Amino acid sequence: TVRSYDEIPGNWRSSLASLYTFWKLGGLKNIHRIMVNNFNTFGPIYREKVGYYESVNIINPEDAAILFKAEGRYPKRLTVEAWTAYRDYRNRRYGVLLKNGEDWRSNRVILNKEVISPQVVGNFVPLLDEVGQDFVSRVHKQIERSGKGRWTADLSHELFRFALESVSHVLYGERLGLLQDHIDPDTQKFIDCITLMFKTTSPMLYIPPALLRRVGAKVWRDHVEAWDAIFSHADRCIQNIYRKLRQSPESEGKYPGVLASLLMLDKLSIEDIKASVTELMAGGVDTTSITLLWTMYELARYPDLQEQLRAEVQDAWASSQGDMIKMLKSIPLVKGAIKETLRLHPVAVSLQRYITEDIVIQNYHIPSGTLVQLGLYAMGRNPQIFPRPLQYNPARWLKGEIHYFKSLSFGFGPRQCLGRRIAEIEMQLFLIHLLQNFKIEKQRQVNVGSTFELIILPDKPILLTLRPL
């Protein structure tokens, strides 16, 4: 017989007990490890109440499948209230990230066509390839300048610029020029504000932003300042394209970028387009850059694996003869490496849905309307799900076996990451060019852990050395 909802294990009855584990394990910055700990204590399902929201947490791929089958026609995630509070406060429209219901769906369907459908992603390849090549040129230049035949640096800042340059090229069909030496201060501010925006969001998962706003708390003020800078810079970029398009709508058959395509399509209001394009621009910076940084870190730790990937890339290069679309079809190990990075270092600590029908998971009844979270970080490190989980092994994604609900780093279904294809192509092309040009090395002793600042980040700077082959 099925056990009742109230029998689900967990500290949910006693907020004090959960607060205690939360505090003991380092709280805020450790959510991912607290979740691992909770699964170890309670098993594959537990109920919890943290801050102002209650949820049921699951970890198994088979249970994830049940969850996503019950997500309904308008899948809804946990609302990040800091983000909606800012939009309400400044009277700015929600984009696809924050919309729900029919409004979300109608916008998303149109955006899908321009951002993630197979018919358009081919257009992104040359744009992203160009940025990848420029990154390599920039590294060669830095190596030359150093006079040491190598370049050692915390590459995160370089990767932020690379990522913003990449996503902007796709969105606007234009280069911003972020891989040159001089960077415009407004753009640097935009980059810094995205990081600040994420960082100031996480405390507000636990303390309602409305409250923080009323007492004039610093996190709220910083958060508003960050979003203000993000919106004003994105507005300028969007306005610029809009103006050009009105002056000369002819684009001579050249792919004009996502924004111009959406404007010409004329199916979404300008305000809706602006809101979603701003979200895409802001969502395109820290996510791919940090994933690439982790990948370089892992490849530096495993030099033999790095050589294997390089060999794959060189073979693919020889057989595709510069046809990048063809090339991208023959690098399974590089793709496996990206999946493997995201297994160990996911951007999102969890995936969540409000279920729209009653379900049974681990023999417990869960009523419709409940917020159910899949612990993505915990799942990626669980030995029952991924044997020898701490080993970075891209080949585990190659074998003929099916990875039923195990590859969920970008979410699932109609509400999955809208930037997924941009992110994947951008990261694949980056790694291709990097591996073709440089050896990646790191200092031996240093081991890097992770910290939670809304997204999962390295807990210390990662110093890497790039050496020409």
Binding site for ligand HEM (CB under 6 A): 77, 96-97, 108, 167, 279-280, 283-284, 287-288, 291, 342, 347-348, 351, 409-412, 415-419, 422-423
Residue among 161 and 442 whose Cβ is closer to ligand 2DC: 161
How far is Cα 335 from Cα 53, in angstroms, rounded to an integer? 36
Residue among 96 and 466 whose Cβ is closer to ligand HEM: 96
418 binds, among ligand 2DC, ligand HEM, none (CB under 5 to 8 A by kind): ligand HEM
Instruction: Please give the residue whose beta carbon sits closest to ligand 2DC in the complex.
Output: 283
How far is Cα 241 from Cα 172, in angstroms, rounded to an integer? 7
Residue among 56 and 212 whose Cβ is closer to ligand HEM: 56
Residue among 82 and 300 whose Cβ is closer to ligand 2DC: 82
For residue 22, give the amino acid letter.
F
Q: How far is the CB of 456 from ligand 2DC (least distance, A)?
A: 9
Contact footprint for ligand 2DC (CB under 6 A)? 77-78, 80, 97, 205, 279, 282-283, 287, 347-350, 352, 417, 454-455
Q: How far is the CB of 109 from ligand HEM (least distance, A)?
A: 11
Do residues 219 and 190 make contact, with C-beta atoms less than 8 angstroms apart? Answer: no
For residue 354, give the amino acid letter.
Y
Residue among 277 and 300 whose Cβ is closer to ligand HEM: 277
CB proximity list for 230: less than 8 A, separation 6 or greater? 190, 193, 194, 197, 278, 282
Residue among 143 and 434 whose Cβ is closer to ligand HEM: 434
How far is Cα 235 from Cα 172, in angstroms, rounded to an integer? 12
Q: How far is the CB of 291 from ligand HEM (least distance, A)?
A: 4
3-class DSSP state for residue 35? helix
Query: Strand pairing of 364-366 and 151-154?
Result: unpaired
How far is Cα 174 from Cα 408, in angstroms, rounded to an integer? 31
CA–CA distances in Å: residue 385 to residues 176, 245, 340, 378, 407: 43, 51, 13, 10, 11
Q: How far is the CB of 287 from ligand 2DC (least distance, A)?
A: 5
Length of the chain: 469
How far is Cα 333 from Cα 393, in angstroms, rounded to an integer? 10
Do residues 440 and 446 make contact, with C-beta atoms less than 8 angstroms apart? Answer: no
288 binds, among ligand 2DC, ligand HEM, none (CB under 5 to 8 A by kind): ligand HEM
Q: How far is the CB of 1 from ligand 2DC (least distance, A)?
A: 33
Q: How far is the CB of 32 from ligand 2DC (least distance, A)?
A: 9
454 binds, among ligand 2DC, ligand HEM, none (CB under 5 to 8 A by kind): ligand 2DC
455 binds, among ligand 2DC, ligand HEM, none (CB under 5 to 8 A by kind): ligand 2DC
Coarse DSSP helix, strand, coil percentages of the chain, rounded to the nearest 5 percent:
60, 10, 30
DSSP line for 56-112: EEE--HHHHHHHHHTS-SS------HHHHHHHHHHT----TTT--HHHHHHHHHHHH
Residue among 370 and 416 whose Cβ is closer to ligand HEM: 416
11: phi then psi, degrees, rounded to nearest 5: -90, 20
Residue among 327 and 348 whose Cβ is closer to ligand 2DC: 348
Nearest to 219 by CA among 348, 28, 78, 35: 28
Residue among 274 and 415 whose Cβ is closer to ligand HEM: 415
Q: How far is the CB of 183 from ligand 2DC (least distance, A)?
A: 20
423 binds, among ligand 2DC, ligand HEM, none (CB under 5 to 8 A by kind): ligand HEM
Q: How far is the CB of 165 from ligand 2DC (least distance, A)?
A: 17
Q: How far is the CB of 115 from ligand HEM (least distance, A)?
A: 8
Q: How far is the CB of 283 from ligand 2DC (least distance, A)?
A: 3
Residue among 180 and 416 whose Cβ is closer to ligand HEM: 416
How far is Cα 67 from Cα 90, in angstroms, rounded to an integer? 35
430 binds, among ligand 2DC, ligand HEM, none (CB under 5 to 8 A by kind): none
How far is Cα 246 from Cα 302, in angstroms, rounded to an integer? 52
